[in-house]
Structure 1
Amino acid sequence: MRTAYGVETVRTAERELMARLPEGALMQRAAAGLAAVCARLLARHRRVYGARVVLLVGPGDNGGDALYAGARLARRGAAVTAVPMDPERMHPGGLAALRAAGGRVEPTVPQRADLVVDGLLGIGGRGGLRPAATALVERIPAGAPVLAVDLPSGVDADTGEVTGPAVTADVTVTFGAYKPGLLIDPGASHAGAVHLVDIGLELPEPELEALQHTDVAALLPQPTASSDKYRRGVVGVVAGSAQYPGAAVLAVAGALRGGAGAVRYVGPAADAVLARYPETLVGPGRVQAWVVGPGLGEGRAGEVADLLVGDAAVLVDADGLRGLDPAVLRARTAPTLLTPHAGEAAALLGVAREAVEAGRLSAVRRLAERYGATVLLKGSTTLVASAGVRAVRVNPTGTPWLATAGSGDVLSGLAGSLLAGGLSGADAGAVGAYLHGLAARRAGGPLVAHQVAEALPAAWQDTTRT
């Protein structure tokens, strides 16, 4: 599992490690790892020897990392130029090392570069780039690859928020641990490919988790020789309407491929569901989990309320999210999973949609605590948070082609089926989002929602291959 840690957690671990190491040793570890990635990038297109490397240097340790790494590249024959944001505040040790290796310091960004290294701000930056840094970034030569040191400058390391000008990197080299801002949009979209350099930090419980194939495989419910359809779990789907019968079909499609033993449909679109999926059970009955909301339309809040006072797990999506009472949800003892997109999350929180999109991590945590539930916040970065739990799950799979009508209905059915199979709300949400994203990648694009459902069995098998 990939884990991420906030700035203060990382800094505390760094201080503890530095107290046990010779002075400057930790920065040298970081610089060595940074230089190694720089060299690999340069070697893809040309040799390190003779390559033109430009360092954008801030006044803190981030700039020091860049300078020491630049010195290592200069000793291998690269032509390294450092351009300071503030010439009077460059890291003295790093500056001396660069000059001793033959590197230069210039007041302006050269017009040509084979690699630009962003060492301006790092994890301590807040609120976007300042004018002096922005002026340097605006002069980066067109087409030059950009590598960010620890974090693209201008991205909030703890949240991924970007509130002003920020560097957009092709590659980010981060030290000791992933930071939340590297995994959550909009920050993640600025980071490019992320490389982690292990510098020996000892870290506590993470603030962010991202499942990998092996984690998903370990969580997926698998039938045994003694399984029957009822022991494997039954998921009920309350979805669809005369106006939106397709929502019911798509939610059932996702549920049928989520591992539960049976899917029970309750709603007005039974004919459409059975025409596509004759294996579906129709009508009320005992279930281990309910999926309610996709395509319900207006005037059916009573159906949602009835399910929430029951003792089965419930996933609430789309139209079912309207008018939810936090007190009712907090009183539940069975798992509750809410799956809003940014607009629905904004309505649940009483804020503007833009506020949710700019601060996704804060929004999903607030929703989970307010409603006493697990919340899956859909979007370019899907997040899963549970009330009272520190670590938030971030989904690493997916594709922009998932921004298509009905794909959320498939996800709801899939995650509901995993709930019925015995997974917790957090695991059902995280595993469902992971498989949903893998299936979309397999389906390619442009895609439509039913193709995601059809690709789920292959995505499931992808996670279990060794």
Structure 2
Amino acid sequence: MRQAHTVDQVRAAESELAATLPEGTLMQRAAHGLAHAVLDLLGPGAYGRRVLLLVGSGDNGGDALLAGAVLARRGVSVVAWLLSDRAHEAGLAALRASGGTTTTRAPTQRPDLVLDGVVGIGGRPGLRPDAAAALDALAGVPLVAVDTPSGIDVDTGELPTDTPHVRADLTVTFGTLKPAHLVDPAAAAAGAVHLVDLGLGPYLPAPAVEALQPVDVTALLPRPTADAQKYSRGVVGVRAGSAAYPGAGLLSVAGAGCGLAGMVRYVGDDVVRDLVRAQHPEVVGAGRVQAWVVGSGSGDGARGMLAEALADDVPTVVDADALAHAPRDRPDAILTPHAGELATMLDVERAEVEARPLAHARIAVDRYGCVVLLKGRHTLVAHPDGRVRATTTGTPWLATAGAGDVLGGVVGALAAAGLDPYDAASVGSWLHGAAATHASQGGPITAGAVAAAVPEVLRALLRQSTP
């Protein structure tokens, strides 16, 4: 599990750990980890390459300076552009002693790489004009952010709306991830993220945000017992699609039929039912289920479909048209809106949700009292008890019609197979993204291809976990 902690949580943990170590140990650990990440990025030809440090007044600048000293000792040409009258004294001394130099103006030679040590995790969003001007002058040069990209909101994953911020190719962070590394839009500004272990683990509390990894997903996957039969593995019901949108019903069924549950039932429009029988002959009709998937393409019938599903008192995935009738205070319900749908549910503009997805996911959870899966580049799953997971699998090619219908089916299958709604939503989102990446192979995909790839991803996970 990748865990992200808030600034206050990180500072408290660092303070506890630092009390057990010689002074300056944590900064040295961070600086050496940062330097080695830069050396890896520069590759075997690092000797003689030019690295420019953008240095602010805080400890973040100190990390950059101390890392610069390590790089200089390895033959890298290091210049620190000081953007403040104050800089970390020990870091400055170490850099100069190692052969690095400092300047208070733009260097005459264009560097091969820039290290962003302008603002640390305690800084407010946005950049001062001088820092913004420095970044403009270095546009196009690969950039490594120290801890977090300067100018973002570390705890919320939000970006400033009226001032610039750093966009990094790589972010090297220390001790633990921060929410901005997992939550968009800031996560997109962080680029690839590399974590340097400082030893904070025993001092960190429960994370603010977490992200499942393959080993976590594998551990959560429902598996049939030796005496399993189709009913004991769980039955998922689908109420989706209409004569106007039959494809939504078919794709919901395809997601539900990924193999995680023992049986799929379809209840709905006659036209869709005939298509389901033709394309998915294993799907049966009405009967008892352990979870429902409701809403995709159901149009005016969504209210009735949802009411009938909720009457069964089983976990229910509420998607698309059914979101207009979303239940309240049903912890067994999973609401799966995209940004536009959540904006309608909360009576705000879509742009507001896209700018502050974590905040709006939490607002939705508080208002509806259900698990909320907010679809996006990094999908968020929020629980009424405050837990949040971010999905980091997927590909931009997943932005295709019908993909959400497949996702709802996969989540419903996991819920029918026995996962609680929070785990079903977050595992389903992870599998959906991984299946899209597998099916895409770097190119376009369709929603049907994503559904077909889910069993392949599951087999790969299970093979890796087999002794």
Q: Does 1:41 align with 2:41?
A: yes
Give the whole-Å Cα distance in 1 for the aligned partners of 2:101 and 2:144: 19
Aligned equivalents of 2:133, 2:68: Cα separation in 1:
21
What corresponds to 2:188 in structure 1? 189
Contact 2:151 2:159 in 1 (8 A): yes
Following superposition, the deviation at residue 309 of structure 1 comes to 3.5
Distance 1:258 1:89, change over 3 A: farther
Q: Give the Cα separation in 2 of the matches to 1:223 and 1:376.
A: 27
Pick one of 361, 365, 369 that aligns with 2:366. 369
Counterpart selection for 2:284 from 281, 285, 288? 281
The question of 1:308 aligning with 2:305 is answered no
For 2:257 and 2:267, the matched residues in 1 are separated by 15
Q: Following TM superposition, where does structure 1 have runs of at least 4 consecutive aligned residues deviating by more than 4 angstroms?
A: none
Q: What is the TM-score of this pair, normalised by structure 1?
A: 0.95
Pairing 1:456–2:454 present: yes
Range moving further from structure 2, 234-243 or 23-32: 23-32
Alignment of 1:228 onto 2:224: no
Normalised by the size of structure 2, how large is the TM-score?
0.95
Amino acid at match of 2:8: E
Would the aligned equivalents of 2:237 and 2:289 in 1 still touch at CA under 8 Å?
A: yes
Trace 1:204-223 onto structure 2 (pairs within 5 A): 204-223=205-224
Q: Is 1:90 the equivalent of 2:93?
A: no
> How far is the alpha carbon of 1:370 from its aligned partner?
1.4
| Residue pairs, 1:165-180, within 5 angstroms | 165-180=164-179
| Alignment deviations for residues 125-154 of structure 1 (CA, whole Å, 9 cap, x no partner) | 322222121111111153x22111000111
Amino acid corresponding to residue 192 of structure 1 in structure 2 = G
For 1:141 and 1:187, locate their aligned partners in 2 and report how far apart those are by CA, in whole Å: 19
CA distance in 2, matches of 1:152, 1:465: 38
Change in Cα spacing, 1:170 to 1:300, as seen in structure 2 (3 Å) is closer
- 2:319 pairs with one of 273, 297, 317: 317
What is residue 393 of structure 1 aligned with on the other side? 389
Deviation at 1:15, TM superposition (A): 1.3
Count of matched residue pairs: 455
Letter in 2 for 1:373: C
8 Å CA contact 1:213, 1:464 repeated in 2: no
Mapped to 1, the partners of 2:139 and 2:452 lie a distance apart of 45
Query: Where in structure 2 are the equivalents of 1:351-370 lying within 5 Å?
Result: 351-370=348-367
Alignment-derived partner of residue 245 in structure 1: 246
Number of the residue aligned with 2:75: 77
State whether residues 54 and 109 of structure 1, in contact with CA within 8 Å, keep that contact through their aligned partners in structure 2. Answer: no
For residue 109 of structure 1, what is the amino acid of its counterpart? Answer: A
Find the aligned partners of 2:31 and 2:405 in 1 and give their Cα distance. Answer: 47
- In the alignment, the residues of structure 1 paired with residue 302 and residue 359 of structure 2 have an alpha-carbon distance, to the nearest angstrom, of 30
Q: Secondary structure at the match of 1:123?
A: coil
**Following TM superposition, by how much is the alpha carbon of 1:104 offset from its aligned partner in structure 2, in angstroms?**
1.1
Residue 384 of structure 1 is aligned with which of 377, 381, 386? 381
User: What RMSD, in angstroms, separates the aligned Cα atoms of the two structures?
Assistant: 1.4
CA contact (8 A) 1:57 1:85 kept: yes
> Does the CA-based 8 Å contact 1:258-1:418 persist in structure 2?
no
Unaligned 5+ residue runs, structure 1?
none
Q: Which runs of 5+ in 2 are unaligned?
A: none
Which of 139, 155, 158 aligns to 2:152? It is 155
Q: Deviations over 1:35-60 (max 9, x none)?
A: 1111222225x13x211110000110
Deviates more, 1:247-256 or 1:340-349: 340-349
Q: Is the 8 Å Cα contact of residues 253 and 413 (structure 1) preserved in structure 2?
A: yes
2:424 corresponds to 1:421: no
Task: Give the AA of the match of 2:321.
Answer: D
Conserved? CA contact 1:109–1:140, under 8 Å: no
CA shift digits 1:275-331 (9 cap, x unpaired): 11111112x211111100000112531221232243111110000001335xxx31x
CA shift, 1:210, in A, is 0.9
Which runs of structure 2 are paired with 1:197-208 in the superposition (5 Å)?
A: 197-201=196-200, 202-208=203-209
Matching residue of 2:131 = 133
Q: Which residue number corresponds to residue 119 of structure 1?
A: 117
SS at match of 2:217: helix
Residue 166 of structure 1, CA deviation: 1.5
Secondary structure, in 3 states, of the residue corresponding to 1:344? helix
Deviates more, 1:126-135 or 1:443-452: 126-135
- Report the Cα offset of residue 464 of structure 1: 2.0
Contact preservation (8 Å) 1:239, 1:292: yes
The residue type paired with residue 356 of structure 1 is V
Cα deviation for residue 367 of structure 1 reads 1.2
Tell me by how many angstroms 1:185 deviates. Answer: 1.3
2:410 corresponds to which letter in structure 1? L
2:10 is aligned to 10
- Specify the SS of the correspondent of 1:345: helix
Query: Structure 1 stretch 303-312 or stretch 410-419: which is displaced more?
Result: 303-312
Sequence identity of aligned pairs in percent? 57
**Structure 1 residue 27: Cα displacement:** 1.0
**Matching residue within 98, 101, 105 for 1:104:** 101
1:271 to 274, 277, 290: 274
- Whole-angstrom CA distance in 1 between matches of 2:123 and 2:350: 25
Distance, in Å, in 2 between the alignment partners of 1:349 and 1:126 is: 28
Per the alignment, residue 52 of structure 2 pairs with 54
Q: Secondary structure at the match of 2:325?
A: coil
| Aligned equivalents of 1:314, 1:76: Cα separation in 2 | 58
- 1:386 to partner: Cα distance: 0.7
Distance (whole Å) between structure 1 residues aligned to residue 460 and residue 392 of structure 2:
15
Query: Does the CA contact (< 8 Å) of 2:31 and 2:63 recur in 1?
Result: yes
For 1:212-232, what per-residue CA distance to the aligned partner results, in whole angstroms no more than 9, with x for missing partners?
Answer: 111111111111221111111
**What secondary structure is seen at the aligned counterpart in 2 of 1:122?**
coil
- How far did residue 192 of structure 1 move? 1.6
What is the distance in 1 between the residues matched to 2:194 and 2:53?
Answer: 18
Is the CA contact 2:294–2:302 (under 8 Å) kept in the aligned structure 1?
no
Q: 1:141 and 1:348 mapped to 2: Cα distance?
A: 40
Corresponding residue for residue 410 of structure 1? 406
Contact 1:68–1:98 (CA under 8 A) maintained in structure 2? yes
Q: Is the 8 A contact 2:55 2:87 kept in 1?
A: yes
